[in-house]
Amino acid sequence: MAKILSSKEESYSQWYNDLVVKADLAENSAVRGCMVIKPYGYAIWEKIRDTLDGMFKETGHSNAYFPIFIPKSFFSREAEHVEGFAKECAVVTHYRLKQSDDQTGLVVDPDARLEEELIVRPTSETIIWDTYRGWIQSYRDLPILVNQWANVVRWEMRTRLFLRTAEFLWQEGHTAHATREEAVEETRQMLGIYADFAEKWMAIPVLKGVKTESEKFAGAEDTYCIEALMQDGKALQAGTSHFLGQNFAKAFDVKFLNRQNQLEYVWATSWGVSTRLMGALIMAHSDEHGLVLPPRLAPIQVVIVPIFRNEEQFSAIRAVAEKMVKDFKACGIRIKFDDRDTHKPGYKFTEHEFRGVPLRIALGPKDLENHTVELARRDTLTKEILPMEGITGHIEQLLETIQDNLLAKAKAFREANIHKVNSWNEFKETLENKGGFLYAHWDGTPETEEKIKAETKATIRLIPLEGDPEDGVCVYSGKPSKQRVVFARAY
């Protein structure tokens, strides 16, 4: 199997696509730009979703569900918002099909035209704030801390599995607050949760910061984001948290009586991560042998592959393996005994390696004799023989070690790919030859930002949240600057 994976160096993009398809994570569907998330890929997404969901609930949020359709007129209410999304909307215009008059096929029934077209949600601020108007009268009704897990549609012209698809799965938090301060605090809190999740679960270190005017969410006052670095030196925006000010409250007329008994517009945030995280996860750790998964998100953490020549050996191994499965499960380890008789051990080894199972145990007649197991690590591709006694505890620790190791590796990679650049030549050369995150001075104008993008395809990924103030001059214009920002080419 490993052979059928393209070389990462030759074509990173082909390597990625092969990996996603051949590791049974996702595939393209018959519908342009829409993917099928296969069971193994979906099992990883479930771990991501459930973990994040727990973190949201820990911080007081509840889930709810809003309509998939948004009346067209809702979009026009917030000027920037419509500007941002109108060009990629799937539009429902009719509600019925019928047989064509000549009975040769199915056609849209012209008599079933909607009075007002409906947009398949690209994001739900408008329909949700239209709903919140009915939920909020006074400060007693605030805050509203609601999240939605849903599918959304953005009609992208160039799509890539997980990274950019016409339909994707995501969560979108939408909160309503009585004060600006509380809303800003919520925005930052959620950014922190995303960063924590990326580091502790996905083993991906991220930079935290604020987007520039031209990169922020359509309708936000400020967009906070986390940015991760992929192995090809490109950045990937892994999550965003928006402080929406009173924009949507004004657009949908959502006011509340404050404690001083005055009517005031409500303050808002929204924040989201999507199946794009799957793309980040795959690209951050995987190698020429296939997927590498951090143990905390691996649907299967340990697989046992039996090695046998005859039925008698198989049944002796099965007895030991089944005992191990029971012990491991009792410790909360996700383990699978691969007892298929349709495939040989070598095939199974390659398959589980390819699918990124963190640990593999091979169990043969000799192991039974010697009370040992052969244990192989996916992250280091190393093997060792271990006594069967105490194996559960050993593996529990080893899974932690692997999780830590993947994060350490990703951190080291990122450190090696952060470059402070101080001149336009250095900027261009570093970007071309090394890639990575470029810390550079910028004069703060959208004009310069746009020119740099046009010349190099690098964008300002973020203005660091904990940036050291430092006087300097813009690498492009030579005008004064107070702080370095982070440039990169990005997914």
Per CB under 8 A, residues contacting its own copies are 27, 29-31, 34-39, 42-43, 45-46, 62-76, 82, 86-99, 105-106, 108, 117-120, 127, 130-131, 134, 140, 146, 150-151, 153, 155, 167, 169, 342
Our CB check for its own copies shows the closer of 94 and 366 to be 94
Q: Report in angstroms how near the CB of residue 25 gets to its own copies at its nearest.
A: 11
Structure tokens that stand for 363 in this block: 């169990």
* Nearest residue to 190 (alpha-carbon basis) of 180, 201, 182: 182
End-to-end CA distance of the chain: 27
Q: Report in angstroms how near the CB of residue 30 gets to its own copies at its nearest.
A: 5
Q: Report in angstroms how near the CB of residue 157 gets to its own copies at its nearest.
A: 9
Residue with tokens 């939920």: 135
Residue with tokens 């995150």: 437
Our CB check for its own copies shows the closer of 100 and 397 to be 100
Phi, psi of 328 (to 5 degrees): -65, -45
Our CB check for its own copies shows the closer of 107 and 319 to be 107
Structure tokens that stand for 443 in this block: 């004069």
CB 78 within 8 A of CB 51: no
Sequence-ordered list of residues with C-beta below 8 angstroms from that of 353, at least 6 positions apart, any chain: 2, 289, 290, 360, 378
Residue with tokens 């909360």: 332
Our CB check for its own copies shows the closer of 119 and 333 to be 119
Our CB check for its own copies shows the closer of 322 and 400 to be 322
* Nearest residue to 146 (alpha-carbon basis) of 157, 135, 137, 155: 135
Q: How far, in whole angstroms, is CA 231 from its chain's centroid?
A: 16
Task: For the chain, state the CA radius of gyration.
Answer: 26
Q: How far, in whole angstroms, is CA 15 from its chain's centroid?
A: 19
Our CB check for its own copies shows the closer of 225 and 357 to be 357
Q: Report in angstroms how near the CB of residue 336 gets to its own copies at its nearest.
A: 12
Rounded to 10°, the helix 276-285/39-58 angle is 110
* Nearest residue to 327 (alpha-carbon basis) of 397, 235, 228, 393: 393
Q: Report in angstroms how near the CB of residue 430 gets to its own copies at its nearest.
A: 38
For the CA atoms of 393, 395, 398, 399, the dihedral, rounded to the nearest 10 degrees, stands at: -110
Q: Report in angstroms how near the CB of residue 93 gets to its own copies at its nearest.
A: 5
CB 290 within 8 A of CB 353: yes
Our CB check for its own copies shows the closer of 43 and 465 to be 43
Our CB check for its own copies shows the closer of 68 and 325 to be 68
**Rounded CA gap, 253 and 247, in Å?**
10
Q: Report in angstroms how near the CB of residue 326 gets to its own copies at its nearest.
A: 16
CB 288 within 8 A of CB 8: yes
Sequence-ordered list of residues with C-beta below 8 angstroms from that of 443, at least 6 positions apart, any chain: 474, 476, 477, 479, 480, 481
Q: Report in angstroms how near the CB of residue 172 gets to its own copies at its nearest.
A: 14
Q: Report in angstroms how near the CB of residue 165 gets to its own copies at its nearest.
A: 9
- Between CA 161 and CA 315, with CA 376 as vertex, the angle to 5 degrees is 105
Q: Report in angstroms how near the CB of residue 140 gets to its own copies at its nearest.
A: 5
Our CB check for its own copies shows the closer of 74 and 439 to be 74
**Rounded CA gap, 319 and 311, in Å?**
12
Q: Report in angstroms how near the CB of residue 426 gets to its own copies at its nearest.
A: 41
- Give DSSP secondary structure letters for 318-339: HHHHHHHHHHHHHTT--EEE--
Q: Report in angstroms how near the CB of residue 239 gets to its own copies at its nearest.
A: 20
Our CB check for its own copies shows the closer of 73 and 315 to be 73
* Nearest residue to 449 (alpha-carbon basis) of 468, 463, 436, 435: 463
Our CB check for its own copies shows the closer of 269 and 477 to be 269
Our CB check for its own copies shows the closer of 66 and 437 to be 66
